[in-house]
Structure 1
Amino acid sequence: MSSAAPSPTAQSLAVVLVSPKTPGNIGAAARAMLNMGASDLRIVAPRCDYLDSQAVAMAVHAGDLLRSAKIYPTLREALADRDLSVGTSARIRADLPAPRHPAQVRGLVREAAAPALVFGPEETGLINSDLEQCQVTVRIPTGDYASLNLAQAVLLVCYEFLQGQDDVPEHSRQTATREDMEAMYGHLQDTMHLIGYTDAVRGRHTMRLWRAMLDRALMSSAESRMFRGLLRQVKWKVEQGSGKASTEIRIESEE
């Protein structure tokens, strides 16, 4: 009996492994992806040879998927072309939205044109700065012992998002890529400092709150550009005001 053709979501779904340590875990994760129909493996700053013999052995029939993996120096670059990034975490983090059950996020993943699932290092999982770059975080329900092997986590989350693909989303829209959003957040942070809305001490906490709010909006690329247009206007107005103030001070001193 032949297997069914990969669904559109399976074809577009990227699995991102952040700084994996063990070749066998990478190979096993590739095998888990193949089991669920996903094929876009991305590895950020690996701490081992991802094509080591142990990785190839654990990949079994997913050797081609493993060899076609893309390597990136940073998570931001790995997510640049994605329009939805889903992080994984078993812990509640301060200032970050609480993880959700994968089934609650399934609709978002299906509606996205280029979704990504992000998994952290074996010892620590994703750190806060990684999760900041994810619009939503999921937690795999487990018993009291919540520690899962990397490949197990990949298998379970891919299963949740790639099952029941005959369901048709109620609506779909093209959301901005993560690179569009990260550029917008950098612009927003600069503007906040410019107008004194926040400072270096409170800035990170403030940006986490704004990221959480704006990520929920699922902006399109056009909307992110419109928002940045507003930020440019704020900067122009502030600079105009500063220039005017400087002129007035100079004229008064000359008198």
Structure 2
Amino acid sequence: MNLAVVLVSPKTPGNIGAAARAMLNMGAHDLRIVAPRCDPLDSQALAMAVHASDLLRSARVYPTLREALADRDVSVGTSARIRADLPAPRHPAQVRPLVRAASAPALVFGPEETGLINSDLEQCQVTVRVPTGDYASLNLAQAVLLVCYEFLQAQDDTPAYDRKTATREEMEALYGHLHETMHLIGYTDAVRARHTLRLWRALLDRALMSSAESRLFRGFLRQVQWKVEDAGKRGAERESVSPSAAAEPRAE
């Protein structure tokens, strides 16, 4: 499986190296690091990676999560908390069929101190939580190991569906387009826009759109925008014509 593991703003070199080692143990080889706060090739990282040093050296670094997910068709965030306006985290085994049916899935982990923030989780179609006992405090490498095991090594039935979904970049472009259209037609305002868009994200991400379907939806949005703008132009033209200029000359 072409599974990418994405570490968002990791703080400690040792955690990056240990995460690479965990990946190699489970058969994952695509490590992506977003805005690291340390040197991913620090001696501590290489020491913790052990035999995964080549995997660590081949890791790609990105300035934003959106860029790291651009070519992925399914992205799975990790979180131990319930967030307002966002779907509740699920058990990794429940998400396994979705990940295994994807062409280019990604598994996203947040900073060691805070985990993923809401704006990161918004870019993920689904969120998982590693089930633990009452004491729930996994380090980054432990979390990577457990979730990669669920997706890559655990036994599972044949996935119930098999289709190529749109990439995250295609979906983010769709959401940007939807945001503009909502403002254009007065569907929402600046205060409510983020909450409203989160609800739309949850709905449309569940649909697992294909690339063609995302283009179809954006075609509909373009038609809405054209219709609104055309109506505005027609109204402006009517207002520019004065009643005296438009009136018929009177017969003497």
User: What does residue range 14-53 of structure 1 map to in structure 2 within 5 Å?
Assistant: 14-53=4-43
Name the TM-score, length of structure 1 as normaliser.
Answer: 0.94
Report whether the alignment pairs 1:105 with 2:113: no
Structure 2 gaps, min length 5: 246-252
Alpha-carbon shift at residue 57 of structure 1 (Å): 0.4
* Number of matched pairs: 245
Question: What's the secondary structure of 2:225's corresponding residue?
Answer: helix
Letter of the 1:83 counterpart: D
- Work out the percentage of aligned pairs sharing the same amino acid: 82
- Could you tell me how far apart the structure 2 residues matched to 1:242 and 1:29 are? 55
- Could you tell me how far apart the structure 2 residues matched to 1:168 and 1:204 are? 37
Which of 87, 91, 108 matches 1:118? 108
| C-alpha spacing 1:253/1:204, structure 2 compared with 1 (3 Å) | farther
Alpha-carbon shift at residue 167 of structure 1 (Å): 4.5
- Partner in structure 2 of residue 212 of structure 1: 202
Report whether the alignment pairs 1:144 with 2:134: yes
Question: What's the secondary structure of 1:43's corresponding residue?
Answer: strand
Alpha-carbon shift at residue 145 of structure 1 (Å): 1.8
- Could you tell me how far apart the structure 1 residues matched to 2:244 and 2:170 are? 48
Alpha-carbon shift at residue 253 of structure 1 (Å): 5.3
Alpha-carbon shift at residue 165 of structure 1 (Å): 5.9
| C-alpha spacing 1:166/1:139, structure 2 compared with 1 (3 Å) | closer
Letter of the 2:84 counterpart: A
User: What does residue range 10-89 of structure 1 map to in structure 2 within 5 Å?
Assistant: 12-89=2-79
Question: What's the secondary structure of 1:137's corresponding residue?
Answer: strand
- Could you tell me how far apart the structure 2 residues matched to 1:72 and 1:183 are? 18
CA RMSD of aligned residues (A): 1.1
- Partner in structure 1 of residue 81 of structure 2: 91
Report whether the alignment pairs 1:182 with 2:172: yes
Report whether the alignment pairs 1:195 with 2:163: no
Name the TM-score, length of structure 2 as normaliser.
Answer: 0.95
Runs of 4+ in 1 over 2 A off after TM superposition: 164-171, 252-255
Structure 1 gaps, min length 5: 1-8
Residues 8-35 of structure 1: CA deviation (Å, up to 9, x unaligned): x2xx000000000000000000000000
